[in-house]
Amino acid sequence: MSIALRDLAAAVAGTVVGDPALPLAGAATLETAGSAEIALVDGADKLHLLARSRAGAAIVPRGTGPLDRPTIEVDDVHAAFAATIVRFRPPRSRARCGVSPQAVVDPSARLAADVEVEPLAVIGPDCTIGPGSTIHAGARLAAGCTIGAGSEIFPNAVLYENTRVGARCIVHANAVLGAYGFGYRVADGRYALSAQLGWVELDDDVEVGAGTTIDRGTYGPTRIGAGTKLDNLVMIAHNCRLGRHNMICSQVGVAGSTSTGDWVVMAGQVGVRDHVHIGDRAVLGARSGVSGDIEAGKTVLGEPAIDLRDRKLQLATISKLPEMRKELKQLAARIEGLERAGRADEPPASAEAA
């Protein structure tokens, strides 16, 4: 399929600079685009990459001006490029087929209108599935689970009993919601599992990444606030309360009974100890080790996590250690030389006596 540059520009409310009739057959990144494809340049600092690219045209920020090849100038380059990709590679459509005869649905489960349950999915007793929801192949919902309207549970996700999922949520493949918390007590010389009587709740518009685990509460819910996004391979322990619109990146681990405010960001591989609170709009830098409460609006980094400014000063100092060590050795040598010279100038003991 070939599309003229002017037609792509019209579809994204852009302005053509160059040949409007240029035919294009696809969209790709600057590194991989060929002469019949259009690429994305999302800032002036990327123009040098375009100069080395084979792309036949580019989508650029408005006001960039003429370049060495045709462009479409737009206000929002990422939205325009996404729309362009869809023009060349429209989403694969499939008709909804309802409940597959190869699915296992308990007779007591309540399924609303337009629910899709794919082959080999298992819906346990007393589950409630909201309208327009999709349960993909191999997903397993234990007894008493509730799925809100328009939510999607991807293949092989497991929801333990009484898990509650809000509207428009996404639970990706192999995620586990509601497993037992890692809580033990010593009894008669061995570990005994503590009470596991709680459940997991996702508020509306939550996304749970592939392979992510959220443990049930001990007595009540482990709760994820509305709009919060959990990346792949995240671990949220029992009794945690995450606020609204948190952004939790891959391989983060949050220990039990921790709470967060709204709009908190945790970068990759952050570790948070138990029973702490992270305030609204706090940012935890990658691989931070959090051992205490973090104030609202604060950005921290390091192990243990400290204020970003202080951490940068520490890193700057550490980078100078080899130079400082060399200077220290030189100073020590000078001092030793001065001490030897001073001892040489001292009169002999016999002369002092005379």
Q: Quick one: which of 33, 24, 30 has its CA closest to 87?
A: 24
Band (350; pLDDT cuts 50, 70, 90): low
Q: What is the pTM of this model?
A: 0.85
C-alpha distance from residue 142 to each of 163, 206, 345 (Å): 8, 20, 91
The edge-to-edge listing of strands for the beta sheet with 199-202 is: 110-111, 128-129, 146-147, 164-165, 199-202, 221-224, 241-242, 259-260, 277-278
Number of residues assigned to the chain: 354
User: Once rounded to an integer, what is the mean pLDDT over residues 182-210?
Assistant: 95
Band (318; pLDDT cuts 50, 70, 90): confident
**Annotated catalytic sites, by residue?**
238
- 135 pLDDT more than 70: yes
Q: In a 3-state reduction of DSSP, which class is residue 13?
A: coil
DSSP state letter for 46? G
184-187/116-117 β-pairing = unpaired
The pLDDT of residue 354:
53
- Residues 156 and 172: beta-carbon distance below 8 Å: no
- 352 pLDDT more than 80: no
User: Once rounded to an integer, what is the mean pLDDT over residues 280-291?
Assistant: 96
User: Once rounded to an integer, what is the mean pLDDT over residues 275-304?
Assistant: 95
86 φ, ψ (degrees, to nearest 5): -65, -35
Band (312; pLDDT cuts 50, 70, 90): confident
Residue type at position 52:
R
194 φ, ψ (degrees, to nearest 5): -75, 175
- Residues 248 and 229: beta-carbon distance below 8 Å: yes
- 351 pLDDT more than 70: no
The whole-chain average pLDDT of the chain stands at 94
- 175 pLDDT more than 70: yes
Higher pLDDT, 97 or 111: 111
Cα separation of 315 and 101, whole Å? 61
The pLDDT of residue 298:
96
Q: Which two tokens stand for residue 198?
A: 């709680």
